[in-house]
């Protein structure tokens, strides 16, 4: 099946009992048995499994061209599950431009569990390979990255990781499976904050991990079941609803973001724009090869005049909401140094490529003329 058909049908077949074309919300916490130890229909207890969650896991695995999907209560719960594959004394190598929550998680693992980590510039494959150690178990990356919109060569990094007996983990939240399927490029595990483009309506919190490896799946499922960071049936249902329109929404996100990025690139009060769809993006050619259908709905810009002017832009918009998160129908604007990446020091942010004048924009589904007009008016007052 092609993507649009999978988005609507994979895991979302009509209910065999009632014929409902929408997956039911199974709210039960436990399931009756006919005899001791004999499950009636394969379900026992909702932490271990739920029909609505199973439908979501099947759906997102199909979208990523994977075999096994696991749904979690948040993107960070999914990340924590994946880090359970690493033991004390072992090592995680991460790209230097990474989500602030992941940065905090890796720091916590080192302080609490003696799981080491380090960072490298993944656009420099030699630097990446030199940063690997005999203890490296996971190579962790985002592409495009949050919030710097750096694009890295997933296939080349997968080859390097595997030559060093490490697994490649790709956070695919910014791209969504409509634009990019990292498992096809050699990744071992794909992560999502389903809160973002998968859900698409800013009304749920969730996460997911997808793999083709049955052993990895079993290990991650054991963690999911033992630690219990699972989403509610209602959040799973909301995610399934979002998936049904993912391909249509992503087309509009890409179209609107390109229009906004082109406007900002030409504006005299904007110092620089990072959007993979612009020829000026350092990895534009790689993005054209690695991504399909478009380049996403996320933009990073540097505002002339420094931090104060960047903050005034964020606070001056009316159509763009000043808020955390991304990937919803509504457009959002944020200031990473004091929002998504506030847990980093100024020195850490500078090394990661997050200057004090950076603004992150999640372009939504409103009329693009209104989005451009809103940014123009806000910039006029900066």
| CA–CA gap between residue 198 and residue 207 (Å, rounded) | 9
How far is C-alpha 168 from the geometric centre of its chain's CA atoms? 15
Instruction: Single out the catalytic residue among 6, 53, 137, 196.
Output: 196
Candidates 115, 113, 117; CA nearest to 103 is 117
Report the run of H or E that residue 193 belongs to, with start and end: strand 189-193
Q: H or E element: which one contains 35?
A: strand 33-35
171 is an active site residue? yes
Buried/exposed code over 281-319 (b: 16+ C-beta within 10 A; e: otherwise): bebeebbeebbeebbbbbbbbbbeeeeebbbebbebbeb
Cα–Cα distance, 96 to 83 (Å, whole number): 17
Residue closest to 207 by CA, chosen among 326, 78, 325: 78
Buried b (16+ CB within 10 A) or exposed e, 224-255: beeeebbbbbebbbbbbbbbbbbbebbebbbb
- N- to C-terminal Cα distance for the chain? 49
Asked whether the bond before 68 is cis by omega within 30 degrees of 0, the reply is no
| CA–CA dist 363, 327 (Å, integer) | 8
Token output for 372: 């451009």
Angle formed by the axes of helices 233-244 and 51-63, to 10°? 30
Catalytic option among 31, 99, 217, 223? 99
Q: Is 275 a catalytic residue?
A: no
Closest CA to 183 of 69, 56, 57, 296: 69
Q: Which of 171, 235, 356, 374 is catalytic?
A: 171
- Respond yes or no: is residue 99 known to be catalytic: yes
> 47, 110, 241, 269: which is the annotated catalytic residue?
47
User: With left for phi above 0 and alpha for psi between -120 and 50, is residue 42 left, alpha or beta?
Assistant: left
CA distance 237 to 252: 23
Q: Which residues are catalytic?
A: 47, 99, 171, 196
């Amino acid at each position: 099946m092609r993507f649009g058909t999978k988005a609507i049908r994979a895991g979302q077949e009509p209910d065999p009992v009632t014929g409902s074309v929408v997956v039911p919300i199974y709210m039960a916490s436990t399931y009756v048995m006919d005899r001791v130890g004999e499950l009636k229909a394969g379900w026992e207890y909702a932490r271990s499994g739920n029909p609505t969650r199973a439908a979501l896991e099947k759906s997102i695995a199909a979208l990523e061209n994977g075999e096994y999907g696991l749904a979690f209560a948040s993107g960070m719960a999914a990340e924590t599950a994946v880090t359970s594959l690493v033991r004390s004394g072992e090592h995680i190598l991460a790209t230097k431009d990474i989500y602030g929550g992941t940065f905090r998680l890796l720091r916590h693992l080192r302080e609490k569990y003696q799981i080491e980590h380090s960072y490298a510039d993944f656009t420099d494959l030699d630097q990446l390979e030199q940063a690997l150690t005999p203890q490296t178990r996971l190579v962790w990356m985002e592409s495009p990255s949050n919030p710097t919109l750096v694009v890295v060569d997933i296939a080349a990094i997968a080859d390097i990781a595997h030559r060093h007996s490490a697994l490649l983990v790709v956070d695919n939240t910014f791209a969504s499976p409509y634009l990019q399927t990292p498992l096809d490029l050699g990744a071992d595990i794909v992560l999502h904050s389903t809160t973002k483009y998968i859900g698409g309506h800013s009304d749920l919190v969730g996460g997911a991990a997808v793999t083709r490896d049955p052993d990895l799946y079993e290990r991650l499922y054991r963690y999911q079941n033992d630690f219990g960071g699972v989403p509610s049936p209602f959040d799973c249902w909301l995610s399934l609803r979002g998936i049904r329109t993912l391909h249509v929404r992503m087309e509009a996100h890409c179209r609107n973001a390109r229009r906004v990025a082109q406007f900002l690139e030409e504006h005299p009060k904007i110092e620089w724009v990072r959007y993979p769809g612009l020829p000026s993006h350092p990895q534009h050619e790689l993005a054209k090869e690695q991504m399909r259908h478009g380049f996403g709905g996320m933009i990073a810009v540097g505002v002339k005049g420094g931090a104060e002017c960047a903050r005034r832009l964020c606070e001056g918009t009316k159509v763009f909401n000043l808020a955390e998160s991304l990937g919803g129908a509504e457009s959002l604007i944020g200031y990473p140094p004091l929002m998504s990446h506030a847990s980093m020091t100024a020195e850490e942010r500078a090394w990661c490529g997050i200057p004090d004048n950076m603004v992150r924009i999640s372009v939504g589904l409103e009329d693009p003329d209104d989005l451009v007009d809103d940014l123009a008016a806000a910039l006029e007052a900066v």
